[in-house]
Structure 1
Amino acid sequence: MIRSKWLWAGLFIIPAVELFGFIYVADQLGAFKTLLIMLTTSVIGLLMMRFEGKKVLQDSRTHMQEGRVPGRTMLDGLCIFFGGLLLILPGFVTDIVGFTLVFPLTRPLYRIFLLKWIEKKMKNGTFTFYRR
């Protein structure tokens, strides 16, 4: 029940913050420049996502060929995927978070939280792995 409350809160709060950001930036720069900035950040973000995604796939292939588990690269891939999704959504806040997820220098911050979350889920038994 608590999870659904957070989901509903996010569904209302995030669009409200993004709308406020649009209105503020459009008031400062004008509507055309605001839309141009949004389109530009989306294109740049998608190009970054594509480039970084290729690097992660290449790194994971190298790890697997060497017989190592590509754990860190898999988490990087998740960060890049979710960052790309946020970059596709219109808005300045989602673009900032999306860029920080895709950008390699800020991605380790998210990886630390993701690892702690996975460790917590594994300890309390709510996160399981299925083998084939």
Structure 2
Amino acid sequence: MPWFIALALLLVPIIEIYVIIQVGQVIGGWPTVGLLLVESALGAWLIKREGRRAWNALRSSLQTGRMPGKELADAGLILVGGTLLLTPGFVTDIFGFFFVLPFTRPLARKVLTAFLGRRIVTQLGGSPLTGFMPGGPAAPGGPAQPRRPGNEDVIQGEVINPDDGRPQDKPPAG
């Protein structure tokens, strides 16, 4: 388990308890409990509504043959946001609403995409500045670019027989 997850599992409950106590001292104990219940009910309703929308968008994109990148990201954000909303506490609810609400989710998706893009590139050993990955089609030494119509360059040379190293008269029949 990465260190930051272990740290979050330790710190988040402590922060949540502190914030709940502080809110309780300002507005009172029962109003704080009522506010937590209202947030949970609102979150459950919102998760149901946005989850249904995300599911329908995912099905629609798959039926039309489009790659469902945005729809999958939205579904993941709604899943994480719903988990945070159903967890009692004010801090997790703020992040949960940020992930689930339809007008803040595009920003959350953009942040998630940027984070995952950087992480994938660095995990594969590429450069996050250029986006080139070793062995990729645009990287030096990588596979050749695919042929496009009108790009009919001819490279002069001779075919060498790999078995004995001598030039071949004709290319092998394939």
TM-score interval, smaller chain: 0.7 to 0.9
Separation of aligned partners in 1, 2:26 and 2:62: 50
Q: How far is the alpha carbon of 1:11 from its aligned partner?
A: 1.9
**Aligned equivalent of 2:124:** 125
1:106 is aligned to 2:97 = no
Q: Which residue of 1 aligns with 2:62?
A: 64
Give, as a single letter, the amino acid of the residue that structure 2 aligns with 1:125: L
Q: Following TM superposition, by how much is the alpha carbon of 1:29 offset from its aligned partner in structure 2, in angstroms?
A: 1.2
Give the Cα separation in 1 of the matches to 2:120 and 2:22: 43
Point out the more displaced range, 7-16 or 41-50: 7-16
Structure 2 distance, partners of 1:22, 1:84, is: 20
Greater Cα offset, 108-117 or 53-62: 108-117
User: What percent identity do the matched residue pairs reach?
Assistant: 34
For residue 69 of structure 1, give the secondary structure of its aligned residue in structure 2. coil
User: Counterparts of 1:82 and 1:94 in 2: how far apart (Å)?
Assistant: 11
| DSSP 3-state at the match of 1:68 | coil
Q: Which runs of 5+ in 1 are unaligned?
A: 127-132
How far did residue 15 of structure 1 move?
1.3
d(CA) in 2 for partners of 1:85, 1:36: 20
| Higher share in helix | 1
Query: What is the distance in 1 between the residues matched to 2:115 and 2:87?
Result: 25
Please report the TM-score for the alignment, with normalisation by the length of structure 1: 0.87
- Structure 1 residue 24 displacement after superposition: 0.9
Partner of 2:38: 40
Is residue 42 of structure 2 the alignment partner of residue 49 of structure 1? Answer: no
Cα distance between partner residues in 2 of 1:21 and 1:79: 24
1:27 paired with 2:11, answer no
| Cα displacement (A) at 1:100 | 1.0
- Deviation, 1:119, is 1.8
Unaligned runs of at least 5 residues, structure 2: 126-174
Select the structure of larger CA radius of gyration: 2
TM-score (norm 2): 0.67
| Alignment correspondent of 1:17 | 15
Aligned residues: 124
Cα offset, 1:7, TM superposition: 2.1
Q: Whose RCO is larger (CA < 8 A, sep 6+)?
A: 1
User: How far apart in 2 are the matches of 1:40 and 1:81?
Assistant: 20
